[in-house]
Amino acid sequence: MANLPPQERLRRFGAKNVLIRNLLAELFGTFTLCFVGLSIVVQFHIGKTKFTNWLGVNIGWGFAILFSVQSTLRISGGHLNPAVSLLMWSFGHIKFTWFILYSIAQTIGAFIAAAATYFYYIDSFDHYDKGIRSVLGPTGTGVCFCSYPQEYLGVLSPYIDQIVGTGALAFFLCVVIDERNGIPKVWHPTFFSFLLIMIGCAFGMNLGYPINPARDFGPRLFSYFIYGAGVFSSPYNMYFLAPIIGPFIGALLGGWLYFLTIGMQNPPVEGIRNTDIPYIDQDGELRKPLTA
């Protein structure tokens, strides 16, 4: 033991319980995803596109997905999104209680990421709005933390936007993880990053493609302590539910649409090992394929 490197000696203190280990991975994975992603949004918004443009935002979020999922893929499956966890529950890969706990851990991670982003950039916020915080308006900075719709959108449009955007995410995510498509597991995070860039380029105009209840609600909850109740009533009451309800519906529709239209028709491939898919089964150990 004395001859082992320090990090190897510390491994014996790691979590032994599978659920605890997975929850820690989901919390810190979502933290890294949102800390990097929100920082990109701050540079875009407060920097007035001087430091990055819209394409840079999409590419930056794509890389945030790549490395955050890669860091957690082998432990928890790298969901980092309650809508993805709900889809995995519907496929029978995790228990419903695990879905609930994953969602809480992911939201906490996003909340902490918003706090870290705010205090990292607090001088930039002060310079931008002279210390007078407002959610929307000429010097509004609420959009740095969570989504707000374009002023011309109707009340139902954000729900449709989030159902479509998350549906596309879930559909193509299933394309990647379906082992019958033969995409090596090591490449999954890279394909997920391309997927997010595609969604941002295609569906980002209406409200910024949150497509992740934890990514939107966690930072929105933190921003409540900065801006007040306006974050839950701007630009109208109950808008904040759209990036929560929409992704849950969209994930189920998109994921099962793939299975029912393509996945169930996909012929089996000889030599595929069922342990190659990075999702946890009901017992928390055996990894199961998307299609049997």
> For 179-192, how does the pLDDT look when each residue is reduced to its tens digit (9 = 90+)?
999 999 999 999 99
Is residue 209 in a domain? yes
Task: Provide the pLDDT for residue 99.
Answer: 97
Sign of the C-alpha dihedral computed for residues 120, 126, 132 and 137 taken in this order = negative
- The region, left, alpha or beta by phi > 0 then psi within -120 to 50, assigned to residue 208 is left
Secondary structure of residue 109 in the 3-state scheme: helix
Q: Using omega within 30 degrees of 0 as the cis cutoff, is the peptide bond preceding 184 cis? A: no
Sheet strands (E) in 157-274: none
Our count of domains for the chain comes to: 1
Count CB-CB contacts under 10 A for residue 249.
Answer: 16
User: If pLDDT is split at 50, 70 and 90, which confidence band does 120 have?
Assistant: very high
Least confident of 47-56, 186-195, 253-262: 47-56
**Does residue 71 carry a pLDDT above 90?**
yes
Is residue 115 in a domain? yes
Is residue 8 in a domain? no
- Write out the H or E segment, with its range, that includes residue 23: helix 18-45
In Å, what is the CA distance from 187 to each residue of 66, 255, 271?
A: 10, 20, 19
**Does residue 139 carry a pLDDT above 50?**
yes
Letter for the amino acid at 194?
F
- Is-contact 241 76, C-beta < 8 A? no
Is residue 91 in a domain? yes
What predicted TM-score, i.e. pTM, was given to this entire model? 0.90
Task: Provide the pLDDT for residue 269.
Answer: 79
Task: Provide the pLDDT for residue 271.
Answer: 59
- Is-contact 64 33, C-beta < 8 A? yes
**Mean pLDDT on 60-84:** 97
CATH number, domain of 166, equals 1.20.1080.10
- Please give the Cα distance from 29 to 193 (Å, whole number): 14
Helix and strand tally (H, E) in the chain? 10, 0
DSSP secondary structure letter of residue 205 = T
Is residue 56 in a domain? yes
Is residue 244 in a domain? yes
Task: Provide the pLDDT for residue 273.
Answer: 52
Residue from 163, 177, 201, 165 nearest 56 by CA: 201
The length of the chain in residues reads 292
Is residue 191 in a domain? yes
Is residue 275 in a domain? no
**Domain region containing 148:** 14-266
